[in-house]
Amino acid sequence: MTKPTALPSYTTEKPCRKPFTPIYSLKQIIFLLLTTFCLFVITLWLRVGENFLLLEETFPLDLPHSADADGSARPLSTPVKSSTGSPSQLSDELFNYRPSPNKLITYLPHSGTTYQFLEIVRALTLAAALNRTLVIPPLRPSPNEENGQNAEPSSWSRFFDLKAFTEQTGIPLMEWDDVYEQLVPEKEMTCVGLTGRHTRTSSLHADKFYKERYNMTLHFEERGLADNPSALAKALNEIDDDLICLSDAFYLRWRLKEQWESIGKYFHYSKELSIFADRITYDMFGVKPYIGIHLRRGDFKKICKKIVNPLARENCWPTLETLQNTVSYIRQELSGMDLPVFVATNSQNPVELRAISELGWKMVDYKLYNVEEKFGVFGRSMVEGSILTKASFGIGTRGSTFSKVAEMRMKDWYGGLSIKLIANTENPGDLLS
Ligand SMILES: *[C@@H]1O[C@H](CO)[C@@H](O)[C@H](O)[C@H]1NC(C)=O
Ligand SMILES: *[C@@H]1O[C@H](CO)[C@@H](O)[C@H](O)[C@H]1NC(C)=O
């Protein structure tokens, strides 16, 4: 940085000032610091918008799936088969983790389906550090989602192959509904708050849920322990109860990528769900590769509105035009194929849904396939997730964890490529609050 040769000119407007001195006054130093800081903030702000439509990943030049020249010979990916995820890749801690079935840990489920999935992964990280067996609570309807608070909860094994997870990793799991009667015969449970905040709100009416579904009374105890796995484990190790209940696994905001790498990717969709989704995909596209778009709408409307930068806002709430441009880019530049498009969305706007259909993009016909009858209220997002996972190219919505997790599955399991409209935030929950 070159040193300015003259002081700002306001000194010259006062005729009777002391002679020029090269020493900066405190005021000037503060002014300079403030200016630098403002410039820094403005640059950051602009950069958020700049990422718009940038391909975040460096693309390998070959196509993600081997397809014959006409692009039609790609076999349907077999469910449950995974290119990654051999137990030798588990971290030492998880590889050697063989807890007793009598020392257990559970948590209160919170928020939408993707977050509840991440809660399993986070609680499992803690469980391993504590050498306890994880008891997974059921997938619970979230008030944030259309399925509402009153819909039936669902067992996770309906959607994920928990047996295969255990066979592959050696890590035992239990499901709450199978064991709670023996575990909590007295029907009272105390749940420990770990992060020092939201003990009650984080449980999002969990007390009501456990009362209505299990006739159980919950108590909360805020401990406000540290927010990293080893410090938490150290503190929790002092609890000798056979069952520890965590009230706010949701707020353990550990790095998504690491959590995915260490455990998340070993949770594969159940065979039943995969085959069901494959059949819908086959009806839509035959065996052709396709582009998968996750278009998050619903409660994002409120969140996106608050974003000041217009480009960032557009990425939070992309228009169909933006998506069409991205699709064209994939077809022309990346694949050279006229790939069909699948759209997973929670949009309920009939005009928008019609416009999507008119583009020739496919969505799942839930009524036709009786998705809800077969898989309950969560069936729809699970089926969509499974179809997205097998796309050759994925386009996600910024800030959506559903997009993020679908992207990781797609890339890790089947080698698809993802295009983010803009950089995904590590903690979309920050946008929600
Ligand atoms: C974990 O618990 C099991 C069963 O109680 C025990 O055999 C094993 O030694 C424990 N592992 C560690 C690292 O404490
Ligand atoms: C719920 O539990 C209480 C005691 O904990 C018991 O008196 C009551 O009968 C139970 N209700 C149901 C519906 O099981």
* Ligand 2 centroid distance, CA of 240 (Å): 27
Q: Could you tell me the residue range of the domain that residue 92 belongs to?
A: 87-264
Same domain for 218 and 132? yes
User: Is residue 2 domain-resident?
Assistant: no
For residues 34 and 378, which has the higher predicted lDDT (pLDDT)?
A: 378
Nearest atom of ligand 1 to the alpha carbon of 96: 13
Distance CA 130, CA 229 (A): 10
DSSP code for 290:
-
Instruction: For residue range 42-80, list pLDDT tens digits in order.
Output: 555 544 433 322 222 222 222 223 233 333 333 323 333
Total structural domains in the chain?
3
Pocket test for ligand 1, best of 93, 97, 100 (most atoms within 8 A of CB): 100
Domain assignment present for 1: no
Assign residue 154 the CATH number of its domain.
Answer: 3.40.50.11340
Task: Assess whether 166 and 277 both reside in one domain.
Answer: no
Does residue 112 sit in the same domain as residue 162? yes
Tens digit of pLDDT for each residue in 119-164? 999 899 889 889 999 999 999 887 555 545 567 899 999 999 999 9
Q: Could you tell me the two tokens for 302?
A: 């409120």
Measure the CA–CA gap between 385 and 404, rounded to whole angstroms: 11
> Within this chain, do residues 35 and 75 fall inside the same structural domain, yes or no?
no
CATH number of the domain bearing residue 386: 3.40.50.11350
**Averaged over 99-107, what is the pLDDT?**
93
Q: Is residue 373 part of a domain?
A: yes
pLDDT in tens, 13-31: 444 455 555 566 778 877 7
Same domain for 353 and 309? yes
Q: Assess whether 423 and 296 both reside in one domain.
A: yes
**Residue nearest atom 13 of ligand 1, based on CA coordinates:** 131
Among the three residues 264, 285, 310, which one is the final residue of a domain in this structure? Answer: 264
Confidence (pLDDT) at 367: 94
Q: How far apart are the C-alpha atoms of 3 and 32, rounded to whole Å? A: 12
Q: Whose CA is nearest to atom 5 of ligand 1?
A: 100
For residue 385, CA distances in Å to 43, 183, 269, 274, 295 come to: 36, 33, 9, 10, 12
137 and 175 within one domain? yes
Residue 228 has pLDDT above 50, yes or no: yes
Going by pLDDT thresholds of 50, 70 and 90, the confidence category of residue 358 is very high
DSSP letters of 374-432? HH-TTHHHHHHHHHHHT-SEEEE-TT-HHHHHHHHHHHHHH--EEEESSPPPS-HHHHH
Q: What is the pLDDT of residues 370-419, one digit of tens each?
A: 999 999 989 999 999 999 999 999 988 877 889 889 989 998 898 887 76
74 shares its domain with 116: no
Q: Per the structure block, which two tokens stand in for 254? A: 């550990």
Output the average pLDDT for the chain: 78
- Cα–Cα distance between 232 and 249 in angstroms, integer? 11
pTM for the full model?
0.75
Looking at the structure, tell me whether residues 260 and 369 fall in a common domain: no
Q: Residues 65, 150: one domain?
A: no
Quote the strand ranges of 274-361, DSSP E. 291-295, 341-345
Q: Which ligand is nearest to the CA of 181?
A: 2
The verdict on residue 3 lying in a domain is: no
Handedness of CA 379, 383, 389, 394 (dihedral sign): negative
Sign of CA dihedral 73, 280, 118, 396: positive
How many angstroms from the chain centroid is the CA of residue 195? 20
